[in-house]
Amino acid sequence: MHSPYTFPDAFTPAECDRIIEIAAETELAEAGLVGAVTDHNIRRARIAWLDDCEGTGWVMDRIIAIVARANREMFDFDIREFGESPQVARYGASDGGHFDWHSDIGDGRIAARRKLTLVVQLSDPDGYQGGVLELMPDTQPRQASRGRGQATLFPSFVLHRVTPVTGGERFSLTTWAHGPAFR
């Protein structure tokens, strides 16, 4: 079984604020699903891709170090690259922000090679209600830590969701580590 890996203090509160500010400087786009499909019954969020934002190299450097440590200590997957930009997502109560049960491996040249998913809690947990990241690595759902700046890593094939945000807004940072197909 591949339990989620929690990396406490992946980012400081000030760094979380800076990542949110950087994303907010761009026009947040409507979040879709793999294959450029949009379905608000499954996902409702606004996103920014950090590769499109200046001055974010330090974020990717930190992500690479966190993923390397988690993979070494827990997963031992054949990871060879980060083929997609980190994504900042805003889930707001005003527009019913949520993401229903799904896995991150999908059709497509890049999504099919996702091995590990990393999600960083950017928002202060007191700033929103709902919006819980739940993971289903086996038959029992588990809640990811809501600690600000904490990273949760899990195999991209694990079912997970973000419950509807019922008050305020939740920001998260997500990226994926890629490698050859599982065997």
| Residue 166 structural domain | 5-178
Task: Please compute the mean of the pLDDT values over residues 160-172 and round it to a whole number.
Answer: 96
Phi-psi category of 96—alpha, beta or left, where left has phi over 0 and alpha has psi -120 to 50?
left
Residue 143 belongs to a domain: yes
Q: Each residue of 68-113: pLDDT tens digit?
A: 999 999 999 999 999 999 999 999 999 999 989 999 998 888 889 9
The mean-pLDDT minimum among 20-24, 28-32, 33-37 falls in 33-37
Task: Please say if the pLDDT value at position 151 is more than 90.
Answer: yes
Q: Residue 183: inside a domain, yes or no?
A: no
Q: What is the pLDDT of residue 125?
A: 95
CATH number of the CATH domain containing 22: 2.60.120.620
Characterise 80 by phi-psi region: left (phi > 0), alpha (psi -120 to 50), beta (else).
alpha
Task: State the pLDDT confidence band at 130, using cuts at 50, 70 and 90.
Answer: very high
Cα of 33 vs its chain's centroid, Å: 13
**183 confidence band (pLDDT: 50, 70, 90):** confident
| pLDDT score recorded for residue 157 | 94
Quote the pLDDT of residue 34.
60
Higher pLDDT among residues 41 and 58, named by residue? 58
pLDDT at position 28 is: 78
Which band of pLDDT confidence, cut at 50, 70 and 90, is reported for residue 1? very low
Instruction: Report yes or no: 121 and 150 within 8 Å, Cβ to Cβ.
Output: yes
**Residue 155 belongs to some domain of the structure:** yes
The neighbour count for residue 14, using CB atoms within 10 Å, is: 9
pLDDT at res. 27 = 80
Q: Which of 15-24, 48-57, 121-130 shows the lowest per-residue confidence on average (mean pLDDT)?
A: 48-57
Count of beta carbons in the 10 Å neighbourhood of residue 15: 16
Give the model's pLDDT for residue 37: 59
pLDDT of residue 36: 60
Residue 172 located in a structural domain: yes
Under a CB-based contact definition with an 8 Å cutoff, are residues 67 and 116 in contact?
A: yes
| Domain count along the chain | 1
Residue 97 lies in a domain: yes
pTM of the model: 0.92
Residue 80 placed within a domain: yes
pLDDT recorded at residue 120? 98
